[in-house]
Chains A and B, each alone.
Chain A
Amino acid sequence: MKVNVKVYGTLRDKFPDYIDSTGIEIELPEGATVHDLLSNLKISESQGAVVTMDYRILKNDFSIPKNAEVQVLQTVHSG
């Protein structure tokens, strides 16, 4: 299944050709979880990465629906 991913924070540096308006389109097996998505993108959780969809932060074992649009963000404590 296809999933559209927008990446924020310093995680973007991993994707030199990243285009903000389109993000990255990736192919995942059906039922893939947040954990699978981060592995596919080679982003480790130690980089403070979390995934959001529909304005909610997703748990690592959450199964991503097909054609989902998700955001990969980094933990930030304050501004």
Chain B
Amino acid sequence: MKFIRVNMSNKTIKVDDVPEKYEGLGGRSLTSTIVNEEVPPKCDPLGPENKLIFAPGTLSGTTMINTSRISVGSKSPLTGGIKESNAGGTIGAAVAKLGIAAIVIEGKAPEGEFHLLQIDIDGNVALSPAEEYKGMRTYKTVEGLLEKYGKKNSVMCIGPAGEFLLKSSSIQASDVDGRPCRAAGRGGLGAVMGSKGLKALVVAQGGKEKAPVADPERFKKAVKEIIDAIKEDPFSGQVMPNLGTAALVAPVNSMGGFPTYNGRQGVLEGWEKISGEAIAEIIKKRGGNTTHMGCSQCIIHCSNEYVDEKGKYVTSSLEYETIWAIGGMSGVVDIDTIAQFDFMCDDIGLDTMNTGVAIAVAMDSGYREFGDKKAVIEMTEEIAQGTEFGRILGNGPASVGKHFNNPRVPVVKNQSIAAYDPRALQGNGVTYATTPMGADHTAANLVGAYIGQQLDPLSPEGQVEASRNLQYTMAVADATGMCMMAALSLLSPEASEAFRSAISAKTGKEIKPEDFPSAMGIQIIKTEKEFNRKAGLTNKDDRLPDMFTKEPLPPHNTVFKISDEELDLTFNF
């Protein structure tokens, strides 16, 4: 496999074999190892010493279903620690099929200069000026790039938010229809890409470099078993293809854990109007698509295409976390406004969660009323315009809280929580506090364990262990390039065994059943924690803000009950 280093300071490109020390790693395990090895931990995340790494998973480019995710790793300007944020779409598979294990962006172009990095079907890598795309939003950028280089390319790019170096900026990835609506959203990685002077990455699809599989027969068998497990699971086989992630609006409100009005209550009045069921009905009535394949090799199709009253495309995919950030946190019970916000964030290149929660903190501070639809759109547009307040907002909830002297800021390591209140889903609070990534639901979301009655969401019992174990599993999934919807359907002993078998068959190195997934997960998280420690983060950064430990959340009127000592036991290595 090839290993590409691009130096943006002197515009040099080096293509080598994967260095021995990185062999066998992929996705999050590769990006986190490179960051820990090569990035000076105390460096300025937006300076030349930081690196931005793109790496498909170890299973990307193979016949394994749902493995087109690409991990993007760096030191985060938002959290000050290590970051891995992964995106779906088509680029993960495209990069892997060209036989590329990683693209490492180093150095920094002179301020104001922007470039494109293009990898063609023969694996040739070239940098070229991107003057004409400077300041451009992502939909127009991708449209222009696909017109120039051809539709059979995958794009990852930044929008104005990344160019302004804002801490909520995302890197957007094109979906199967060539729209930049998939995102490596978290941690402000768009700003790192902007600081390097890289506007977009364009990669040819359809490469013929077959990802080497050590034991093809065993791999084939494991793929089949995984397909069967995904189809049989009602979550991935029925709910996701029909309702997408928006299906969570009903259960999380029914558990009293839907953070509403900047976390002042756990149930949103009128949530039925923005539920997955309601959205599916609206989409059907208007002639959109309730189910849609967002990423290469997907067999679940959790995506959708939301359209307006005239049937015209508004956005894809309208997801649960975005619905919550505006519907719940900002109190806007209007699905058309939420969809417009989603499109704007993708187009400006913004994390919908960090941005929606920043708007909610501004509303909580009295800047505008909760539920003000017009304000949501106007405030988001201010970010794109780069106004003074737009920049405060675009730097996320902590920046807004500081501006208004409002301590009610639901973040960990400056990154906003997701759509599960830690006072009503205690284990998700353990995840927010202890993952090296800052508050992040994808690191270990225990909502399925609560609904499936394996764990009581309100009791502190067993939460640390459950979060820890799932964090190991998710770290392994993030290393393989497998999407979360598929990985979470492989938790049964049989399906987990098929997943272990697939990874062993791919690499030719047998993973012992007792080591899967824990030993692999520990290795990844240990590396990430080591970087964070060297960067200056301590146990004190692994805490939830006071609003969760001091303010009881209706309707259960509970607070987050896991002690600091217990949190520190999550990863005591």
Contact = CB atoms under 8 A, between A and B. Distances in A.
Interface of A: 8-10, 12, 20, 46-48, 50, 52, 54-57, 59, 71, 73-79
Given A8-B275, A71-B250, A73-B451, A78 B488 contact: yes
Interface string B274-287: 01111000000000
13 contacts: A9-B250, A12-B277, A20-B278, A48-B234, A48-B452, A50-B452, A55-B555, A71-B254, A73-B251, A76-B245, A77-B448, A79-B245, A79-B441
- Which of B255, B266, B419, B441 has its CB near the most chain A CB atoms (within 10 A)? B255
A47 B238 contact: yes
Given A50-B453, A75-B452, A78-B441, A10 B242 contact: yes
B254 A79 contact: no
Contacts of B254: 8, 52, 55, 71, 73
Given A52-B254, A57-B450, A57-B451, A78 B555 contact: no
Contacts of B451: 48, 50, 57, 73-76
Contacts of A55: 254-256, 266-267, 424, 555-556
Contact of B484 (A59, A74, A78): A78
- Which of B234, B488, B489 has its CB near the most chain A CB atoms (within 10 A)? B234
Q: Give the secondary structure class of B's interface.
A: helix
Given A8-B275, A10-B238, A55-B556, A75 B448 contact: yes
Contacts of A20: 272, 277-278
Nearest to B250: A8
Interface in B245-271: 245-248, 250-251, 254-256, 266-267
B196 to A, nearest CB: 31
Given A52-B254, A71-B250, A59 B453 contact: yes
B445 A78 contact: yes
A4 B83 CA distance: 47
Q: How large is the interface on B (under 10, 10 to 19, 20 to 34, 35 or more residues)?
A: 35 or more
Interface string B501-522: 0000000000000000000000
Contacts of A10: 234, 238-239, 242-243
Given A10-B243, A57-B255, A78-B484, A46 B250 contact: no
Nearest to A47: B234
B319 interface: yes
B453 A57 contact: yes
B306 interface: no
Interface in B449-469: 450-453, 457
A52 B320 CA distance: 20
B321 interface: yes
A27 to B, nearest CB: 23
Given A55-B555, A73-B250, A78-B447, 7 more contacts: A8-B250, A47-B238, A48-B451, A77-B448, A77-B489, A79-B320, A79-B441
A12 B272 CA distance: 14
B519 to A, nearest CB: 23
B234 A74 contact: yes
Contacts of A8: 247, 250-251, 254, 275-277
A48 B453 contact: no
Interface string B455-496: 001000000000000000000000000001100110000000
Interface in B118-160: none
A77 B447 CA distance: 6
Contacts of B275: 8
A75 to B, nearest CB: 5
A20 B234 CA distance: 22
A78 B250 CA distance: 13
A59 B246 CA distance: 25
Interface string B301-334: 0000000000000000001110000000000000
A29 to B, nearest CB: 24
B248 A79 contact: yes
B235 interface: yes
B33 interface: no
Given A9-B243, A10-B238, A79 B489 contact: no
Nearest to A53: B254
A47 B451 CA distance: 13
Nearest to A79: B320
A76 B238 contact: no
Contact of B239 (A48, A52, A71): A48
B442 interface: yes
Nearest to A44: B234
A22 B513 CA distance: 50
Nearest to B323: A79
Contacts of B442: 78
Contacts of B235: 48, 74-77
A47 B232 CA distance: 10
Contacts of B233: 48
A8 B253 CA distance: 12
Contacts of B447: 76-78
Contacts of B266: 55
Nearest to A59: B453
Interface string B429-448: 00000000000011001011
